[in-house]
Structure 1
């Protein structure tokens, strides 16, 4: 080869290489999205107790399989495991950080095959990894697993239960795997297992066929010795250890043919140093104190109080079995019937002997009086067996009766019915006496820390009015948990927000609460009230809902119960519980427009805020949108030093700080709009030299993404200084204008640095996918004026768009708008007030404020009126201002619409009634305006089923591509699809199936 040819060859090769390198990356398509994997934001990561390992899961946004990554934080050591089709992981490190266990699920392919032949269970596995060697041990058919707490010497695994009805035994095999030796012991017929915190005791309940050998067992994990604490032909359940692990409580259920469900007793076990002592409370042996017709509830786990002196549990009504209806045909009872109905002296004596609560002559007299009363009631009925209900097979009408005096709407009662059936009243047993703490007057009593007192909030006197206007009132009681004595603390207490409601101190003796825009502390033992004063206001003046003086949520009590940490709109204040001291810990928030929005809880087991340790706080720049993590340090005397030292402060979204349990290792997350969420670990308390340990979204580098963001400042037509986030399209070139989607939902400019993971959302919207495909996305803020929710959108969005146009990024001739739910309402209203936009997509919109006010929010069963008056609607009742309702209803201005509209509204929408979408569609259709309503059968307020989410995501982009990019007009928009042709239409569309 000549030098000239060689030179030309080299130039050609380098030229081709350079050409290949300069090739732009493609935009992401919806088909690409179907194969996308990323870290789940919900439980998708875990740091080992020693901080040396990070586990995270890359799961599919569609229906693909997931993989679990074990990454060493100090080097590049990395292990990858396929864990099947899972959206979140069940995983756990042992407390000594030597082992890691996780669930392995069936693959997506296996699940699809099983769906075609139901009835065959798909087994799940557990893999155990020895971290030092990466040795893997596999366990088949496992439903639950746990290491034995701090001891970390065993892995306990419960096998998958077999098929069976509700009365079938729940017992299955328990595998105890000894980590040091690899030996496994199989213990059969175990229904529940629970280690105490230290892990030296394992509690087991046995549930075998015919209840043979049923009971509660205690296994000492060091010696392997097992003690049978109690045996009976009963069902044992609801194991509940104390936090210290020095006490165990559980329930025991026995069958009684007189009742539909089992009758329960409470068992308490303590004194584990020697022979465990057993405390039993059996209601059937306490006719003196326990309420008739009730039993201990299986729906609430029993617990010991911290001092191990009392057992707290729930009680509820028990339904008797109906008598044989044939016996009702006779009007006169037989003599034998009288014998069974009237309480004989022999029966009385037996019941008295069985009653273990009778300790004195006074108790005996009370019990005899109660038996006499019961006998008299039977005698008054003529000594006859109480008549049973009429025939069960009578055809009953399916009817609901709505009465104007109903305290709660029937629809709300239907929603609440399952919870009502599960509800139980709190009760107590101190070893000698039963005390009922909750009843029909004060239903829900909740124990405070240390279980000295309980707090009860009873809204039944105000339930009717609360359900009408959404203004929340309640009576508040303090209950002495040793005596059961109640003290009414407040009558008709007003709660404009949850921040006003009482919060207990860590010693359980004080309550922080808010009233009339002011915080107070109430000392329970002395009944003294202190006003908390500070040179600031804790009222949330930026809350524009129709409520009076809502307060900003407190950060909480100090661990010594001497201080509370409160927030104003900018800073964090340390205020003493005696009201004498108020210190601004952050100082510069208001002056520099930095919001200190929260404190990071580094110890998940903390009891209150330890003010003798540094405080890590979240920083957010209101005008810059920067975020970060700061620290409030401690002086030599152990007091917080006012002033925040920023540790991280970036043009990004930074957060999620956590600490390893047993090491100086800190993990936090970082993301930006065009940079996926990743996790960083630092070995320093000042978070320096942090190392990225995760690799989120492994396919991210294959595609083109937004080139950046701009912050747009503007002033609303009502004089409010606001901001909007403008996301540039992929491949942005300065001076070139781009088609733009404007998206909104109240205030969202804070999402400037938020990463939008590609996926099929329930609304069809994904900003990252749109910017990748050449769109600019603009997200402006909206604030509201009372009685003008629709006009507020006009006053905010139009000035925002005009300001964004001046950036030179937006093509004003190719703008679309989109919103869902409340944003869908704003979209529907905006197109009645302006022709600025070339296309609009509204999801589940409110369109007629008058009719919407009187409809039901089906998902909660409440009336929309209370939402309109005290929540998002920001309106008075319509009859107080009809003009405001007409002025802000899209339907009232429908003749002004010139913008093509794509409507998404589903027939099972439980938030915005389907009729709202139909009303607007029919009105637009009658006026021959371009509109398409897309309805997915059986779907609620957002799309849940993956095929539907895929379908609508594609349709909405097709709609905008046609109107804003001049792409081909989709057939479903151009001429519609007849019902008879729908099946063929759907078969032709790409559904991205594997």
Structure 2
């Protein structure tokens, strides 16, 4: 859609107001949320024969669909989820949840965990869509390369299902289980049942095709971490004779291969560094199966039995030169306690690969190469607390003896390995360029220095290095080329810098192309651990997403023949398109498409006609779902792309949502919401939903509010004034442009960074009748040295280099003045705008006392202010019950000040803390 069509839509909207008014529609209310649906979990088989997806309400029972694309026959499985389809398109497996109402009733009745309703397993024969179900399922698994069998865990064991014959085989007292890749073997650990004298602790290997079980080991108190190799012929697992519960176990690493069980690493192993094989070792095979990798860890001894809790001090010690502060240690406690250092067993010798705690090891050639990549930031951990450039030291580590060769020192980036291991590649945050390192020769190449275009964020307005446009460059077979995006286009680079080719031409028309592979090539988490992926071949199509910076339209594109004569195609349209799903071995595409007025439904195109353009193919695709038909019963609206000039002359974009049914001469209230830039979401579908923190656009538009969402750009050192420059100028421009906006009934609302700007703006202007500030920073001077409790990081870098954009420390010349200038609490005496604050006591991003500081200072000056503190809640609300509560209170607050609605009791009288679980104060105060 071009700008002319956008204008035409707006004109059409105005002309049809009278007709629309003849059909009364309801306004959305807070009872509609649960039934609003979305399409998710789209899966297509490699041969393109079957497509599956789910349609789920926000709360309640969803449906899983499986469709035969050729015949159109569709199977519906109520409450189905977690589908696995065999690569040969013979079988499918999924879980079926209990009915939502049944589970809710069980919770109300406070049933114990064992008595709660359980999932079922559905086994589906795709040829005729016949379904067999098995009840009381805790989990299920099947193979990867083929799925002739499935297994599911129930309370007392594991059941193996043969879908072809319908037979089942039960392994009692099984606690864990894992399939081989070919799906024909199953390894199971058994745990002795004290009530069953015949039960044993053991590890059992089941040959499912032959119907044979072999007990590989028995009568040891611990078995764990079972993994097959890719050929499905070898199994590695841990075992231990240790019985202490509060200490590490000394484990042996065992391999079963060709009918023989052997001990690869004994439980007595102890490296020169004191590391041992414990229960967290998690051994796994290289791609060939010739090597075994495992993690070595520290031995944690049992707790001293002479120390008693009531006599033991509990203290956190903060050390000035420690890499991790106590808050970071608490967050990473499990990771620290269970930390292992990647090692390899090669020729019977254990070789440690990972050096320090922070050393990240990446394998080459599926673990069968001669070396691994080490990226270690230990030397720079301390300064990373305040330095935005995270430096690393990069080494190549020999898998033969663990020797290291440092190849990059203090590089500002995170190098990765090309698929064949021939090159390292990274974006350098110091010079803002893409680099490669040729492993064979040690040569370095700057790939982008000679390009007359920027591969870094051209619009960066934070006081730090600009980030790259491309975080995941793709490679071609043989490491021949690497594909990297700039702002608009995709480029093909020879990794030695010898050639550059631009594959698209988006810059002249300001269309952004981004590459991404929509084909599921079947790589598992285990494959990714080995560094395996899918480099493009000459016959592969590179799929692209497209986005117009001018019209905000979206679409798809592709590049063919990128090794030789390049052919491209793309389209743009006034919709948001979800990530496409493409069959690996057939010309079948599935995608979702929707916008503000049109729900995001699923479409499929089973094949391109001769010379058919991508645009016509997408336009002629068949719609498979029809979600949210109830939307037509409610008042909705339209969205327009708007432009204005900020006070300092900066051209800006924004979105204006206009409620339908505005009568001639009618005035409506305006809600202004903002967070950085949002104009690119013009065509995004928006659905009524309980608020986690911000106003819901469809809800407010349906209830007669116009909603304005301006883009905001910033100048370092003055984020508050930057917000004023963009937001207030935009508000005034909208009032001038749209005669239906009531200048006396306008409000602002924002969350987090937006919440801070709300707090600042009401100290700067009385333009708005009411304000909502979620998780605001009120005092930058106290927040500066605070902690982001979710990560444990000190907040200083956020102000010096990050989103808060001060650009200086408090001690730099002029720094303190900037922190005071931008801190709302130093100016609260000027506030005239009633404000509703949300500050939750488990906020991991903004310290909740920031909201308290702001509220307390407003209260001192008796400014009308309220603070909502949701107990044990996060930065953005998680519990749906709290989201619904916030949605009601936000609307009551704004309706009172902008629409003259009666003040609710909670605003007039509050809610006593001892009544908060039984009284809500939603009723009118009068």
Q: Return the TM-score normalized by structure 2.
A: 0.88
Matched, 1:143 2:138: yes
Cα distance in 1 for partners of 2:912, 2:153 equals 52
Residue 736 (structure 1) shift: 4.6
**666-675 or 132-141, which deviates more:** 132-141
Correspondences of 1:6-85 after superposition (within 5 Å): 22-33=22-33, 35-39=34-38, 41=40, 44-62=41-59, 64-74=60-70, 77-83=73-79
Equivalent in the alignment of 2:405: 487
Is the alpha carbon distance of 1:900 and 1:258 closer, same or farther for their aligned partners in structure 2, counting shifts above 3 Å? Answer: closer
- The aligned residue for residue 893 of structure 1 is 827
- 2:881 matched residue in structure 1: 947
- Alignment match, 2:322: 406
Displacement, 1:537?
A: 2.5
Aligned residue among 534, 538, 543 for 2:455: 538
Distance between the aligned counterparts of 1:392 and 1:467, measured in 2?
Answer: 37
- Indicate yes or no: 2:159 matched with 1:174: yes
Sort the Cα spacing of 1:262 and 1:406 in 2 relative to 1 into closer, same or farther, 3 A: closer
SS at 1:97 equivalent: coil
Partner of 1:362: none
Instruction: From 144, 147, 152, give the equivalent of 2:147.
Output: 152
**Does the 8 A contact of 2:596 with 2:686 survive in 1?**
yes
Structure 2 equivalent of residue 183 of structure 1 = 167
Q: Distance in 2 between matches of 1:927 and 1:319?
A: 56
Task: Give the structure 2 partner of residue 200 of structure 1.
Answer: 184
Q: Does 1:740 align with 2:740?
A: no
Alpha-carbon distance in 1 for matches of 2:120, 2:677: 45
Cα distance, 1:853 vs structure 2: 0.5
Q: Which has the larger radius of gyration?
A: 1
Write the distance in 1 (CA, Å) between the matches of 2:104 and 2:245: 46
SS at match of 1:39: strand
* Equivalent residue number for residue 429 of structure 1: 345
Q: Does the Cα contact within 8 Å between 1:502 and 1:512 map onto a contact in 2?
A: yes
Partner of 2:283: 302
Kindly indicate whether residue 569 of structure 2 is the aligned counterpart of residue 645 of structure 1.
Answer: yes
CA deviations on 1:708-737 (whole Å, 9 max, x unpaired) are 211111233333322101112133457654
Cα distance, 1:825–1:542 mapped onto 2, change above 3 Å? same
Instruction: Please name the residue that 1:625 is paired with.
Output: 552
Equivalent positions of 1:751-900 (< 5 A) are 751-808=681-738, 809-875=740-806, 876-880=808-812, 881-900=815-834
Select which of 282, 293, 296 maps to 2:265: 282
Structure 1 residues 235, 404: closer, same or farther in 2, change over 3 A? closer
Matches within 5 A, 1:207-286: 207-209=191-193, 214-231=201-218, 233-243=220-230, 245=232, 247-255=234-242, 260-270=247-257, 275-276=258-259, 278-286=261-269
Partner of 2:482: 564
Q: Is the 8 A contact 1:49 1:93 kept in 2?
A: no
Using the TM superposition, give the Cα deviation of residue 915 of structure 1 relative to its aligned residue in structure 2, in angstroms: 1.6
For the residues of structure 1 that align with 2:427 and 2:503, how far apart are their CA atoms? 21
Aligned pair count? Answer: 872
For residue 973 of structure 1, report the CA deviation from its aligned partner.
Answer: 2.3
For structure 2, list consecutive stretches of 5 or more residues without a partner in the other structure: 1-18, 523-532, 609-613
User: 2:103 matched to 1:107?
Assistant: no
1:236–1:250 contact (8 Å) kept in structure 2: yes
C-alpha distance in 2 between matches for 1:298 and 1:716: 61
Distance in 2 of aligned mates of 1:565 and 1:435: 35
Which consecutive unaligned segments of at least 5 residues does structure 1 have? 1-18, 163-171, 326-389, 495-499
Match of 2:498 in 1: 580
Do the aligned residues in 1 keep the contact of 2:455 with 2:486 (CA within 8 Å)?
yes
The alpha carbon displacement at 1:613 in A equals 1.4
Residues 362 and 372 of structure 2 are in contact (CA less than 8 Å); yes or no, is this contact kept in structure 1?
yes
- Residue deviations 1:409-465 (CA, integer Å, cap 9, x gap): 222222222211121011111142111222448744332343222222222222222
CA contact (8 A) 1:229 1:278 kept: yes
Distance 1:434 1:843, change over 3 A: same
For the Cα contact (< 8 Å) 2:267–2:277, is it kept in 1?
no
* Contact 2:32 2:688 (C-alpha < 8 Å) held by counterparts: no
In 1, the alpha carbon distance for the partners of 2:771 and 2:584 equals 51
Per-residue deviation, 1:800: 1.9
Contact 1:59 / 1:66 at 8 angstroms: preserved in 2? yes
Q: Flag the 1:524–1:977 CA change in 2: closer, same or farther, 3 A.
A: same
CA contact 1:712–1:803 (8 Å) conserved in 2: no
What residue in structure 2 maps to residue 591 of structure 1?
A: 508
Match of 2:846 in 1: 912
Tell me the TM-score normalized by structure 1.
0.83
**Matches of 1:989 and 1:71 in 2, distance apart?**
49
Change (3 A) 1:72 1:778: farther
> Does the 8 A contact of 1:309 with 1:431 survive in 2?
no
CA deviation vs aligned residue, 1:51-76 (integer Å, no higher than 9, x gap): 344333333324x3333334454566
Residues 1:923 and 2:857 aligned together: yes
Partners of 1:658 and 1:412 lie apart in 2 by: 39
- The answer as to whether partners of 1:73 and 1:693 remain within 8 angstroms in 2 is no
Residues 217 and 229, structure 1, Cα contact 8 Å, conserved in 2: yes
Q: Would the alpha carbon gap of residues 441 and 974 (structure 1) be closer, same or farther in structure 2, given more than 3 Å must change?
A: closer
Residue 395 (structure 1) aligned with residue 329 (structure 2): no
Judge which range, 856-865 or 730-739, deviates more. Answer: 730-739
2:14 maps to none
Q: CA 1:152–1:781 in structure 2 vs 1: closer, same or farther (change >3 Å)? A: same
Q: How far apart in 2 are the matches of 1:662 and 1:643?
A: 20
- Counterparts of 1:442 and 1:950 in 2: how far apart (Å)? 42
Q: Which residue of 1 aligns with 2:680?
A: 750
Q: Deviations along 1:853-873, whole A, 9 cap, x unmatched? A: 111111111111022222211
The answer for the alignment partner of 1:13 in structure 2 is none
Say if 1:277 and 1:519 are closer, same or farther in 2 by CA, change over 3 A: farther
Residues 533-554 of structure 1 deviation map (CA, whole Å, 9 limit, x = unaligned): 4332212222222223543324
SS, match of residue 916 in structure 1: helix
CA distance in 2, matches of 1:502, 1:611: 26
Counterpart of 2:414 in structure 1 is: 501
Deviation at 1:50, TM superposition (A): 4.3
Q: What does residue 477 of structure 1 align with?
A: 395
**Corresponding position of 1:419:** 335
1:612 aligns with 2:528: no
User: What is the CA distance between 1:512 and its match in structure 2?
Assistant: 0.5
- The answer to whether the Cα contact below 8 Å between 2:221 and 2:243 also exists between their aligned partners in 1 is no
| Matched residue, 2:525 | none
Q: Partners of 1:560 and 1:405 in 2: how far apart?
A: 45
Alpha-carbon distance between aligned partners in 2 of 1:40 and 1:645, rounded to the nearest angstrom:
27
1:986 is paired with a residue whose SS is: coil
Corresponding residue to 1:314 among 295, 303, 306: 295
Tell whether the 8 Å contact from 2:351 to 2:399 is kept in structure 1 after alignment.
no
Residue by residue over 1:661-710, the C-alpha shift from the partner in whole angstroms, topping out at 9 and shown as x without a partner, is: 4533211111101212111111125445311112223433332222x211
Residue matched to 1:519 = 434
Greater mean deviation of Cα atoms: 649-658 or 593-602: 593-602
The 8 Å contact of residues 71 and 79 in structure 1, kept in 2 or not, is answered as: yes
- 1:903 is aligned, of 825, 837, 861, to 837
Write the deviation string for residues 506-530 of structure 1: whole angstroms up to 9, x where unpaired.
Answer: 0123100233222221122332222
Q: Deviations over 1:89-133 (max 9, x none)?
A: 222223333433321223333333433434242222112233444
Report the counterpart of residue 7 of structure 2 in structure 1: none
Separation in structure 1 between the aligned mates of residue 135 and residue 42 of structure 2, nearest angstrom: 24
